[in-house]
Structures are given as C-alpha cells and as structure tokens.
Amino acid sequence: MTLKPLALLVGTLALSTSAIVNANPVVEALKKDGAQVNLPVTAAKAPFSVEFVESARENFDNFHWQMGGDHALYYSKNAAEFLPSTLVSPNEEYKPFVKAINPELGKITVKTAGKGEMTMDEYMYDPQFRTQGFMLIHEGKIVYEAYPGMKPTDRHVWMSSAKTTVGTVVAMLVNEKKIDPQLSITHYVPQLKDTVWDNVRVLDVLNHTTGLDNEETLASIMNPESPVVRFFSSAFGVPYAGTGEVETWVDVARETEIIKGEKAGEVNRYASINTIVLTKMIENIEDTTWAEVFEQRVWGKMTARQASQFNIAPDGMALGLGLLHTTLEDKARFGTLFTPSWSAVATEQVVTPEVIDIIRNSGDKATFVGHTKEASSVSAFNEAADYQSYQFDYIFDDGAMAKSGNLGQFIYVDPARDFVGVVFSTNPYHSGYGENKSPAFMRTAAKMLAGE
C-alpha cells in the first residue's frame, strides 16, 4: 500500500466548493472508484461487501480519504487497517451515561445556506449534511442523540478536533508550572534549536501565531511542493514530491521559514505542524510517549466505554493532531470533563477550573478578527466567535469553546451552561456538500437549556 502526502486529512479549512472542484488534483481524485458520494451515510451502519472493502483498500491514500466519498465511510471507522495505531486504555470502571432525552431539542431551528430553515431532527437525517453521529450532553446526561450513519459502539476519527487533547494537556502542565508559555518553544523542544523556532513562544505555537510559513490554506494544500505537504509527507514517512526523499518531521520543522514582515504573535495561521511540536514538547517534559501521557492524565481517569485509538507517526509518536478514534459517546465524555458534571464521566476531576481559565485567558482577539478562523466561525455558528486559544479554534466571551475537524467533525464545550455537543460525519467539500451547521444547533441548544 502506498500512502500519499496527508495534506488534507486533518485540516479544518472552510473551503469553497467552486475552488475545490476547479482544483485539478481534486478533479482527478474524484475519478477514482469510491471517491464520489453515491451511498447514503446509513450504509456505514451495515457490513460492507468484500468487493467494496477490497476496492477501498486498493485505492487508499490520504487524498482519497479526503474526498469524503463512499470509501471514506470505511476509512473513517477503520483507519487502523491502513495506518499503525496505539490504544489508550480507559479507567477500569465503565459508567454509562444517564439518558434524559428532551424531544423539544429536535424542534430547534437553524438557518442553513443550502436548504433554508431546518429543525435539528430534519437536519440530522438529511442526506445533504452527511451526519453519522450527533450527541448533546446537559448536566452530565444525554439529552439528544442521533446515529444516522454509525452504530453507538463504532469508533470514528476525530480529525483536527483531536487537537483539543493536546492543548488541554499543555494547559495542565502550565498550571503545574512545568511549562512557561512565554518561553521559546525550543526551550522545551531542543530538537528545533538554532532555527526560526527560537523566536517563537510556546504560546504562539499553541495559538497558531508563529509567523512561520506553514499555514494550511487552499493554495498550500493543493501545492505538492508546499511546506504543508512536505510536513504531512514527513509525518507519515512517505516521499516529499519536491525532492522524492523521505524526511523526518523534525527535519522539515528545522527548515521552516519565516513569513517576511510578520512577527510571531501577530496573526492566526492554522498549521498542524504546531500540534506535533507541542506533542513532542509534552513527551520531552514527561519523559514518556504522548499515548502514555494521555492515558495517565486523561483517558485512564475516564469511565469510558472503550480504549481510544491514535494512529502513529514513523517515529512512534501518537498523532494527537487529528488521528484519534473513539465512540461518539466517549468523545462526549471527554467534553464533559470541562463541565461541572465531570463526575458523570471520570473518577476524579481531570480538567480543573484553573486549567479552563488558562485556556480561556490566553487568547488574543487581535490575531483572530479578520482572519480565516473568524470567517469559519460565522459559517459554523451563524455568528462570530471572539478568539482562539490553546488549539481551540473558537472561544466565545461567554465561556464556550469549540474545535472543528475535517469532513465535519466537531466538539463544543460550554462549562457555564454545563453543556457539551459532539458530532461525527463524512461530509466532503465538493459537489455541493461541505456545509456543517451542527455547531449552530449545539450553541442554540445550550442557550435554550440555560433558559436564554
């Protein structure tokens, strides 16, 4: 099996349909068997035929997965068949969520660009939006759930919504005085010393304000010789198109260049390479693997149904930048760690108020306003978020925090309203698809349950 550069697999870009369709690499990629959307997401709830699976295996590469077509339904739930993986065990105690389903939530309406005003019940099962699993948690109880395209026990990829796991652990270490976010990242990652990273603070890496030329944009992910494609090639041990050579991600990071006329801390430029640098920082400080840190600090204290699963890089590092796989319910459990009802999902408080305050108080609105993530927040929520921080894409002044992931993944955490929303989907950015209004439904539901 030949893997191609993972340029699009974990990005969270809000890409325009016309731009995608007109991009030659996508046009060619859509000609492959299984790249187009022909099957409804309901097909993923039943076993696929041997013939279908063989075709999916034959055609697998990151770009093919990114197309979000029929084969992507298989990849998103079965990535361990294609990429090396490691398991992170939960606490030995399993505690089911209590269900307190509120039928009124299904009547909430949100305006969509493609189909106008829709209720939440209508949206969940509409084939346009490719939702596979959706869940809302209020006061530690399930108040709404829908499984249009997966079984409750299925694992599904988080994509970039997994970056919240890395940002949260860094906040824990900051709270414990093991990290000073104002210091250079190379103070903790000496593998990058004597490079442009020397002038980048830990905080800048956390908030994607490095001032370095590695931003994930439509142009960079479509250019096979861009720094972005080069990084993903290295992270997955495949040849970089520009040279034909296999590099390590550290080698690529060391050769990163600055953006002329821009300093670190000035502009939010989203880049997954930042998350792998943060992961290495955590490994260096804790002197063990990211998977072990995540188990000891987070997942191992959760009363989750299943082990979480990370795909790993060639050097053995678990890829917290996006390739995390769990059940929908267990993803909701992670979100619930941020709420006053944390005891419903864990044996002890994992995410303390101090950790939440560190995340919420470390953003800079000036780096967010007028840039890509602000625009994508309007698309997702029908309102603008206020800033980003610690790998969370969207933070609102009322305390709500959220993170998106490619093909429509999302996590929304609202501590003040004791509310969590999570969604899994396989929603491509072409052929009229790509709109995701799950976040708007989540935020509207949180406000309704709070009596607002």
Residue-wise pLDDT for 194-206, tens only, equals 999 999 999 999 9
In this prediction, residue 12 carries a pLDDT of 39
Q: Looking at the predicted structure, is the pLDDT value of residue 371 above 90?
A: no
Per-residue pLDDT band for 19 (boundaries 50, 70, 90) equals very low
Distance CA(210)–CA(264), nearest Å, equals: 4
Distance CA(388)–CA(167), nearest Å, equals: 11
Domain boundaries, the chain: 17-85, 98-171+287-307+320-449, 180-278
CA atoms within 13 A on the CB side of 358: 25
pLDDT tens string 97-133: 999 999 999 999 999 999 999 999 999 999 999 999 9
Residue type, 287: D
Residue 396: CB atoms within 10 Å: 19
In this prediction, residue 7 carries a pLDDT of 39
pLDDT tens string 390-410: 999 999 999 999 999 999 999
In this prediction, residue 431 carries a pLDDT of 87
Asked if residue 46 lies in contact with residue 61, where contact means CB atoms within 8 angstroms, the answer is no
Distance CA(214)–CA(299), nearest Å, equals: 31
Q: Which residues contact 70 (CB under 8 A, 6 or more apart)?
A: 34, 35, 36, 37, 38, 39, 43, 52
In this prediction, residue 1 carries a pLDDT of 32
pLDDT tens string 213-228: 999 876 777 677 788 8
Which is more confident, 228 or 267? 267
Residue with tokens 């072409």: 430
In this prediction, residue 24 carries a pLDDT of 60
Average pLDDT of span 177-182? 98
Q: Looking at the predicted structure, is the pLDDT value of residue 245 above 80?
A: yes
In this prediction, residue 222 carries a pLDDT of 64
Distance CA(349)–CA(297), nearest Å, equals: 10
pLDDT tens string 315-345: 898 999 999 999 999 999 999 999 999 999 9
Residue type, 154: D
Top CATH class of 98-171+287-307+320-449 equals alpha beta
For 191, the enclosing helix (H) or strand (E) is none
In this prediction, residue 218 carries a pLDDT of 66
Average pLDDT of span 157-173? 98
Write phi, then psi, for 175 (nearest 5 degrees). -60, -30
Q: Which residues of 311-339 are buried (b: 16+ CB within 10 A; e: fewer)?
A: bbbeeebbbbbbbbbbbbbbbbbbbbbbb
Asked if residue 381 lies in contact with residue 443, where contact means CB atoms within 8 angstroms, the answer is yes
Distance CA(383)–CA(17), nearest Å, equals: 21
Indicate if the alpha-carbon torsion angle 151, 152, 153, 155 is positive or negative: positive
Topology of the domain comprising 180-278? Methane Monooxygenase Hydroxylase; Chain G, domain 1 (1.20.58)
Per-residue pLDDT band for 22 (boundaries 50, 70, 90) equals very low
Mean pLDDT across the chain, nearest whole number? 92
In this prediction, residue 429 carries a pLDDT of 85
Residue 275: CB atoms within 10 Å: 24
Write phi, then psi, for 392 (nearest 5 degrees). -85, 125
Per-residue pLDDT band for 295 (boundaries 50, 70, 90) equals very high
